Structure 1
């Protein structure tokens, strides 16, 4: 490396023009604070294109003098390198001993701009401007770096005032990096690292390319899938078109012809059955009309018999009443005769008591007759209701039915829709249905909420059922078999009746598995057997029940009439006897009364005999009329039951007739449809479609038109329900993506092979360079050990382990320990060293960087290295500096001990600018005098 010879400054800070010699090994710059010591060092730093100290820069210095330009000129040596080679001197191709470095700073575009030049020899400033080939800052630094001023040395030269011991604060890793920078190995390592970074970047690119290839591969697979869907769609479309245009018309035409013939035969057969069913239904209708006429005639005969019975009853009752009246009058005769036969003057008190008892009994009979007459009226009303087809219901049922009618809720009673077809099982049916005789069936199930609300309000104890269904087929031998329903009933009722079997007696029922019932109502269920029969006058279901109740009520009415007549006769007798007693007690003579009424009593006796004969004759007529009425009732009931049975059969016949008619109509519509389809398929037949070979091939592939249509529907549903590709361009896109994938794969493989080869070459080259790095570290260790010997300091160097491994190189560091005055080893910055020892450490580390056999000497800026040092350490540092070969430019304040001048060969004294003056005074120079060597006395 080169050394400084002189420096010249023009318009630098407050110096107008000043030249300073630097041709000595140790140059001491002394002066008070603010006199320009650091300014002089910053001038040399700016001349060398390195940064100034602290926060200063060159612009600060050139602005102070308010001149538009400034010049810095330095003369450095250009020694020949011992090793020679392609660059024998630092500033080759300049080979002269001196080189001029020039820096021009001037204002340009409102800002300060600097340019540099390197001139051959010691060129004065007045001539240098004309000879200079100006360089930019970066090019100038590159030329100085070739001359030995590396960026690492520049960092050392830019150390601030009092920071000479900063090197001791470096970590082992930082110190090793500094060594490699100064000796040029850092750039090589950086180049290796850049190569590795480029390899990593290439690997990342390969990974990205691999991901791109994977993504493209996924796209290729997707396009293959889409292409497959397109090919499948095209095949499905072609198959569907073939089925629609070729297979289906032929097969449908052939199947249509076959189906048309079969349907025509079915139509003719169904039409024949319809004709027979129509005749059967017509015959049934005639029978219904005939039985209806018989029922009407029987009804008219029953009414006529009832009229005759009523007329005979009225005549009988009139004759009986007249006979009773005559008999009562004759009883008065008998009473008078009895009174006349007794002696007059009987006990009047006893007769009065008897009269009082007769009158009391008469009042009781009147009250009883009033009750009996009311009962007779109720029975007559009930009989009249049953005669016109209506029965009487309990009061609570009538109230609930009235509430439903008022709420417009359609309903029917279960007892109104049931008819027992076999009168012999009327008692069994009544026994089973007795709990349900007042069940209410709703016409509209949607009204159940309102109906239930009314039932809850009126506390109706019987079921209100909204759900109704048609009767199921009756099981043979079940109780349901003898019952006909005129309307739908609850399903649970059907099930209950259908599971009960009819048996003649309990002995026959013992052999039956399940529930059974006898004719008179002996019932067996899961809990056991018991009698649940109902009296005939309590029957409630069907015409048989009505007739039974009607007969029972008529018998009851007859008995009530007989009782009323007896009570009335007794009342008349008591009344007359009471009147007679009253008259007797009034003083009338019984014999006189008999005499006065003898003719009356004789006429009454004669009338009584004729009335007796008439009453017997009318009684016989009444009995005959009643028998005739009963026979008429039975004939009417039988005619009505027979008419109901035939009506049921007529409904069944009508249902069969409607079914056959619907079947014929369906066959007729099917024929028309088949003919229309046959014409349509015939129009769609392609040419030569019915050729035997073609038809045989189609029938072999498809069994029938239905099979072809099923296959067509399946394919159409599959075509409509699937996600298909319909663009043929997917095939070309699939092929293109496959080609792109192949190209990317080839490119990736090629680049992967290049990366693998580059990694292998880089690793091999760096492994070979490890020897150079180890030699550099050993050389630096030898330098600082030699410098330590010069300074009387023991230096222990722990060389790092340098291997061809990124982790090992990243962790490698240079560890140094120092031994001052044989007091033991201490570290770089462990706090045990004094200020002077820290300065000695830094100087050893710093100067060791300058000791390069290929690039010897060099220069160092040391700003106030003697700060905070005692006299002994100042002398020690001064002795050390003398023992080295480097050039030192040292600053120091003028307050230090004079020992600081001991090593100096040239002393520069700076002075402060005087107040009022524009320029600072020049720098004073003092050079150490060197005595001439004395001659050898033995020479």
Structure 2
């Protein structure tokens, strides 16, 4: 580092102008307190860009001169160092002028600095005719001085406060280590580490700030997203509410009105139809009730008749019992007479009487056969007349009774046998066999009478079909059974299908040519169907068509001829039997017993003949009596049923009448409501778009909202929700949400980039820290070497171990420099452990201070030391002086005049300061004492 050769001050404090030679190693500045020793050092500090001592600054000194400008100029050495480089390159002369120009500007003081090659006076610097001198600012000037060797660390040492130079030993190990590295450390390494650490800290701070900003931005984006969602939800709800109010509710109302109108129209029509039906049913019920009343009267008459028959049966039973008793009595008398005849006339008379009895019995039998044949002939004669007069089927009691009930109820009908005509006599038997189950089927002429007819059939327990569904018979299939039948009127469809399905064949062998599934029948009635084949049996009596009637006529005539032949056969036998009986009766005449037997033979024979009949009549009377009682009970039960039926029908009629009245009362309000609905529909539908009337779309809307009522409820719910909810209704929130989302993505990208940068900064910091630690170790080793060298000069053992330095900021922050001193072989003492004396404290501080300024690459330099000999005895003053002379640095030492003269022993140049006298404008110039070499 350079050293000072000359100093010139103009208007500095109370000095007007003077020039001091400072080309010496040890310069002592002596004077009383307040004579300007520190002021002189502060001038040098201001020139070198250092901080003044205490709370002073350069303005304090220039204001005292009461002038508008001030100058501080120094000439310093610029000789090349061990590297051959001059401190103030590109200045190539051995001397360089350093100047500080202070001027008043607008009420404040400013200072400019210049570095000029060679020794230039103040006037030349002021004139600067050739513009060779460049005036710079404070920061640039400090940078130039740092290149010259006056680094910020050395500047820090030079700027130590008055009295602090002897207190370096009181520094903490950590503070001392920091000071040592500030002075000795490689500026670039330190700058790199500081820059890397600063970059890392900045990067981490920036990353943390960016992370906070990203979190804040994410929170804002999330808030805006939620607000956007709320807006979208509000928009959706508002649009739906508007659509409900403007379109959906009217559409559903119209659809429901149309549906209600159609339903009401159907209800009105249904009500009208139901009322008409109820009236018809009421009339029918009244008619049927009248029929039931008639049936009740009939049943009561039947019950009366049945009771009469019961009485008659009882009377017949009594008479039959008496007749059986009388017959038994007569036969007992005959037996007694025969016994008497056997006693009086012998057994021959008994045999004769037996022959007479047999002849008489044969006569009675032939007479009975004659009577029965005559009755049968008369019956067949009546049937012949009836068959000739009537073209229908043979009468059946059950069917006739039921048809009479249908006629009484006004139900027009026909029997199936009345409309079927067989056109081929050869197939009459087969047709009769197939249609035998359907002989008594009843066909209704009006289909609407079916329920009434079925009701009567239920009452009568009618076992045959009542068919209301009739249609014209389709054309007959060729070869089918329907081909030999002609229908006079409409028939059930199932009957026509049945007859068309059955094919006619001559015999079973002829059916081989037909398909497997074909139904067929032979003339003899052998029928094949899906279940198999069987013989249906040929009916003895035909029912269907004219051929059946003719067959019945023919049968009646044949029966009459047969009966007549039987009568012609019986009558001769009857005459012979009468003659034989008369002859035997004559032979028995003359014997009393025989006469009695003969006289009463008729009675006896009648009794004998009557007895089986009487017993049969008795049995029949018993059965008739039981039947009569059963009829009475049945009729009583039937009457109870009729009473129940009448009561039910009365209730039904009352209900029907009430229903008719109710339907009549409901019809007018319904028509009125229907008219109101139609008017409302016209009002609501007026001006409605055509597509709003689409039934399919309206049906979907109705399914979605459950009708207009549900849509109105949904509309009210949406309105309540819109009114009570905290919604966002400004659509700009969507733009803001999108922008914030994009900003978040961009900021996340930036955060990732900064995070990579931060990781790189950490890596670079780690590398710079490693380099810094390596340099710090080397610096500590160099400083320890300097300390030991200075200790040898001062005859003090100094130990400066290298501290533990790890590649970690915390370890570096906690590291310190432990320096131990051993004075006079009395034991090592630390920096500030209270073991050293005052002189030893000053020696420790000087060693520590001067070791900071020892640089083999830049030997020399200067040091400002304020009063280092304070509180030292004479021996220590000499010791310190010897130590200072042994070093190669330039020292500017202040000392008060009260010290021992030994303080001047090491000085080669002594500057003597004096106080300004009262009344003088300027202080006296500084005195100069130079030791001759």
Aligned to 1:37: 37
Match of 2:196 in 1: 192
Q: Give the structure 2 partner of residue 147 of structure 1.
A: 148
The correspondence for 1:907, drawn from 865, 886, 910, is: 910
1:201 aligns with 2:201: no
Alignment of 1:723-762 (within 5 A): 737-762=740-765
- The secondary structure found in structure 1 opposite 2:70 is strand
Q: When the two structures are superposed, what TM-score results if normalisation uses the length of structure 2?
A: 0.51
- Structure 1 residue 921, shift from structure 2 partner: 4.0
SS of residue matched to 2:769: helix
Check 1:215–1:60 CA distance in 2 against 1; reply closer, same or farther (3 A cut): closer
1:503-526 deviations in whole A, cap 9, x for unaligned? xxxxxxxxxxxxxxxxxxxxxxxx
Shift of the 139–687 alpha-carbon distance from structure 1 to 2, 3 Å rule, reads: closer
For 1:750-792, what per-residue CA distance to the aligned partner results, in whole angstroms no more than 9, with x for missing partners? 3333333333333333333321222112211221122112111
Residue in 2 aligned with 1:167? 168
**1:699 deviation in Å?**
8.8
| 1:270-311 residue CA offsets vs partner (Å, 9 max, x unmatched) | 999xxxxxxxxxxxxxxxxxxxxxxxxxxxxxxxxxxxxxxx
1:690 and 1:116 mapped to 2: Cα distance? 97
**2:846 aligned with 1:849, yes or no?**
no
Are the structure 2 counterparts of residues 675 and 879 from structure 1 closer, same or farther at C-alpha, using a change threshold of 3 Å? same
Q: Residues 845 and 254 from structure 1, CA distance in 2 versus in 1: closer, same or farther, beyond 3 angstroms?
A: same
**CA shift for structure 1 position 250:** 5.6
* Mapped partners of 2:916, 2:689: distance in 1: 122
- Aligned-partner Cα distance in 1 for 2:892–2:117: 24
The CA deviation at 1:215 is 2.3
2:77 aligned residue? 77
Of 86, 89, 94, the match for 2:91: 94
Identify the residue that residue 831 of structure 1 maps to in structure 2: 834
- TM superposition score normalised by structure 1: 0.51
**Corresponding residue for 1:211?**
215
2:379 is aligned to: none
How big is the shift at 1:858?
0.6
Give the corresponding residue for 2:774: 771
For the pair shown, the structure with the greater C-alpha radius of gyration is: 2
Give the Å deviation of 1:730: 6.5
Task: Report if the CA contact (8 A) 2:780-2:802 is conserved.
Answer: yes
Is 2:879 the partner of 1:876?
yes
CA distance in 1, matches of 2:23, 2:209: 57
Corresponding residue of 1:138: 139
Structure 1 residues 396-411: aligned runs within 5 Å: none
* C-alpha distance in structure 1 between counterparts of 2:780 and 2:162, whole Å: 29
- 1:682–1:851 CA distance, 2 compared to 1 (3 A): closer
Tell me by how many angstroms 1:664 deviates.
Answer: 8.7
2: CA distance between counterparts of 1:705 and 1:30? Answer: 113
Give the match for residue 236 of structure 1: 240
5+ residue gaps, structure 1: 273-657, 929-939
Q: Are the aligned partners of 1:256 and 1:677 in contact in 2 as well (CA < 8 Å)?
A: no
**1:703-737 deviations in Å (ceiling 9; x for gaps):** 97778777877788778887777777766666555
Task: Go from structure 1 to structure 2 and tell me whether the alpha carbon gap of 1:687 and 1:116 turns closer, same or farther (over 3 Å shift).
Answer: closer
1-structure distance, mates of 2:739, 2:164 = 69
Q: How far does residue 740 in structure 1 lie from its aligned partner after superposition?
A: 4.2
SS of residue matched to 1:11 = strand
1:173-199 CA-partner distances (Å, limit 9, x unpaired): 221221222235554443233212311
- CA distance, structure 2, for counterparts of residue 125 and residue 817 of structure 1: 49
Q: CA, structure 1 residues 216+698, in 2 after alignment: closer, same or farther (shift >3 Å)?
A: closer
Match of 1:888 among 886, 891, 908: 891
Partners of 2:815 and 2:118 in 1: how far apart? 44
Distance 1:703 1:44 in 2: 100
Q: Greater shift after overlay, 17-26 or 153-162?
A: 153-162
Q: Secondary structure of 2:860's partner? A: coil
In the alignment, which residue of structure 1 is the partner of 2:824? 821
Equivalent position SS for 1:815: coil
Alignment partners' CA distance in 1, 2:164 and 2:864:
11
Query: Could you tell me whether the CA contact under 8 Å between 1:253 and 1:682 is conserved in 2?
Result: no
Structure 1 pair 895–230 and aligned structure 2 pair: CA distance change class (3 A): closer
The 3-state SS of whatever aligns with 2:819 is strand
The change in CA–CA distance for 1:794 and 1:733 in structure 2 (over 3 A counts) is closer
Q: Provide the residue aligned with 1:466 in structure 2.
A: none
User: What's the CA shift for 1:849?
Assistant: 0.9
Of 255, 258, 277, which aligns to 2:259? 255
Question: Counterparts of 1:618-697 in structure 2 under 5 Å?
Answer: 670-671=673-674, 673-677=676-680, 679-680=682-683, 683=686, 687=690
The aligned runs of 1:3-42 (5 Å cut-off) are 3-42=3-42
In the alignment, the residues of structure 2 paired with residue 696 and residue 48 of structure 1 have an alpha-carbon distance, to the nearest angstrom, of 99
CA contact 2:250–2:684 (8 Å) conserved in 1: no
Distance (Å, rounded) in 1 between the aligned partners of 2:216 and 2:12: 62
In the alignment, is the contact (CA less than 8 A) between 1:157 and 1:861 conserved in 2?
yes
- The residue that corresponds to 2:57 in the other structure is 57
Deviation at 1:130, TM superposition (A): 2.8
Deviations 1:401-444 (A, max 9, x none): xxxxxxxxxxxxxxxxxxxxxxxxxxxxxxxxxxxxxxxxxxxx
Preserved contact between residue 29 and residue 913 of structure 2 (Cα < 8 Å): yes
Alpha-carbon spacing, 1:269–1:212, altered in 2? closer, same or farther (3 Å)? same
C-alpha separation in 2, matches of 1:673 and 1:50: 108
Aligned positions of 1:86-485 closer than 5 A: 88-131=85-128, 132-185=133-186, 186-219=190-223, 221-222=225-226, 225-226=229-230, 228-229=232-233, 232-233=236-237, 236=240, 240=244, 244=248, 248=252, 251-261=255-265, 264=268
Q: RMSD value over aligned CA atoms?
A: 4.4
**Deviations 1:621-659 (CA, angstroms, capped at 9, x unpaired):** xxxxxxxxxxxxxxxxxxxxxxxxxxxxxxxxxxxxx99
> Does the aligned pair in 2 maintain the 1:783–1:848 contact within 8 Å?
yes
- Could you say if the C-alpha distance between residues 673 and 152 of structure 1 is closer, same or farther in structure 2, counting changes exceeding 3 Å? same
CA distance in 2, matches of 1:692, 1:126: 112
The alpha-carbon distance between structure 1 residues 734 and 822, as it changes in their structure 2 partners (threshold 3 A), is closer
Alpha-carbon shift at residue 241 of structure 1 (Å): 7.2
Match of 1:382 in 2: none
Which deviations, in whole Å up to 9, do the C-alpha atoms of 1:587-622 show, x marking residues without a partner?
Answer: xxxxxxxxxxxxxxxxxxxxxxxxxxxxxxxxxxxx
Q: Alpha carbons of 1:243 and 1:88: their partners in 2 closer, same or farther (altered >3 Å)?
A: same
Q: What SS does the aligned partner of 2:816 have?
A: coil
Q: How do 1:549-564 and structure 2 match up within 5 A?
A: none
Please tell me whether the aligned partners of residues 47 and 100 of structure 2 are also in contact (alpha carbons under 8 angstroms). Answer: yes
- 8 Å Cα contact 2:87-2:147 kept in structure 1: yes
Q: Once the two structures are superposed, what CA deviation does each residue of 1:32-65 show, in whole Å capped at 9, x if it has no partner?
A: 3344333332332232232333344334444445
Task: Measure the CA separation in 2 of the matches of 1:716 and 1:68.
Answer: 84
- Contact 2:254–2:681 (8 Å) recurs in 1: no
Quote how far apart the aligned CAs of 1:846 are. 0.7
Change (3 A) 1:119 1:240: same
**Structure 2 vs 1, CA of residues 87 and 218 (structure 1 numbering), >3 Å: closer, same or farther?**
farther
Change beyond 3 A, Cα 1:224–1:902: same
2:10 and 2:17 in contact (8 A); partners too: yes
Distance 1:906 1:810, change over 3 A: same
- Change over 3 Å in CA distance of 1:27–1:673 after alignment to 2: same
CA distance in 1, matches of 2:714, 2:886: 110
Q: Distance in 2 between matches of 1:727 and 1:161?
A: 71
CA distance in 2, matches of 1:696, 1:105: 99
Aligned twin of 1:532: none
C-alpha change, 1:123 and 1:211, in structure 2 (3 Å) is: same
Task: Name the CA shift for 1:59/1:764 in 2 (closer, same or farther; >3 Å).
Answer: closer
Whole-angstrom CA distance in 1 between matches of 2:665 and 2:84: 123
Correspondence for 1:927? 930
Inter-partner Cα distance in structure 2 for 1:682 and 1:118: 103
